[in-house]
Structure 1
Amino acid sequence: MPQPPAARPRGPKPHRVDADQLLDAAQEVFSREGLRAASLRAIARQAGCDPALIYYHFASKEAMFTALLDRRIPPLVEALKRIADPADERPTPLRLWEVMGAFHRILSRDSGFRSLIRGEIVRGTEGIQEQIQTFVGRAAQQVRALLEQGTARGEVRTDLPPFLATFFLVRMHLEILDLLPVIVPQVHGLAEKPAIQTAERVWLQLYWRGIAADPAAPCPPLPDFGA
């Protein structure tokens, strides 16, 4: 009796991936194409899985974006809450240095996430920008609270809007994290890690001189991050 022909192979079988792997892939695609232009098929291709698998974990690409925010921002907020504890009586510049340390520790190795957030703040669709403001606002509120404590203690200028002081501290630090790794290799004799650490320290010293109630007062010594 003749045997039926063997089934033709249909190419490599897509492998299984978990939710975190899908989010990593989504971040890559969102950073490259933007949330509006990105497709679930492109995310599945980046992850190397069947598009149908995405629906097992996430209802939509917007849900994936929300999950990305939820994966990164809450740990940062919790770290900032501890630093902004009103019971902390250390000088304000040392506490602001810890704020920069929290951003460095949690976000410095994730340029894709920073790029994603920046892009969606500028070009994001309705609803997405509001989500970003909600998540990022929680972190910014902790920095603002710390600055307001510094004003109440006579360390920070009273004429400085706390929102702008928060914006300038965080924005410039993120620029250091984004741009120095690109620029440093072009400068002979500099290594990336010490160059970034030096830039972070110099920026905080310059920033503090601009917001201090007494600009002539020296900034306390700033320890290395993690020390």
Structure 2
Amino acid sequence: MLRLKNKKVLITAAAQGIGRASAELFHQQGAQVIATDVNMPLLKTTQVAEHHYLDVTDLDNIHQLQAQIGNVDILFNCAGVVQNGGIMDCSEDDWAACLALNVTSVYRLCQAFIPGMLAQKTGSIINMASVASSITGVGNRFSYGASKAAVIGMTKAMAAEFVANNIRVNAICPGTIESPSLEQRMAANGDYEASRKAFVQRQPMGRLGQPIEVAQLALYLASDESSFTTGQVHVVDGGWTI
């Protein structure tokens, strides 16, 4: 049985990592997947129905996309950035950039697509948060942790607001996931092998998570199987926060 048959899905940051794994899995499960990203050459290699350029920090771009594609059944806000540094390292520009991508984009996309869900009297919104600082304290992640905690707050507020309208809103908090973004951060540390070893050692399972393992959770939250689940924070972190 196709778990997302006849469902129309919008996914941000779908060119790689968790977004790509989710887009392709959703497509395999019968959804009409509208995959978006700023990296169009890479996005076009994703095996889904539609590819659209979307800069989630550009309000006009969001409104243009909404007008172009119309209503969706499922919105997966997957775009985000991991910003290193503590509070004393965080400049005003760093703070603004992190919140623009990790927080404001979620607010804007939800505000753009919730009216269509209200008209359809159904919808599922999935927001990407993180265990880092929003669930457990992590050093050197000040702005990132603050932004992901804000995503959790928005998720719960929207879930409460629309619970009577058959619109569900949930958040996913991954641990350390093996992705192009993580690879870049490990390489940027100067000692790739030492950085990778440190990331693996903090995972009680002794390995990094895979994008498909997060995508499988997103599939559940997108599908009607989770029809009685809303306002929840779903942790998939290999036991990091036990």
* TM-score normalised per structure 2: 0.31
Structure of higher CA gyration radius: 1
* Structure in which a larger fraction of residues adopt helix: 1
**TM-score where L is the length of structure 1:** 0.32
Richer in strand (by share):
2
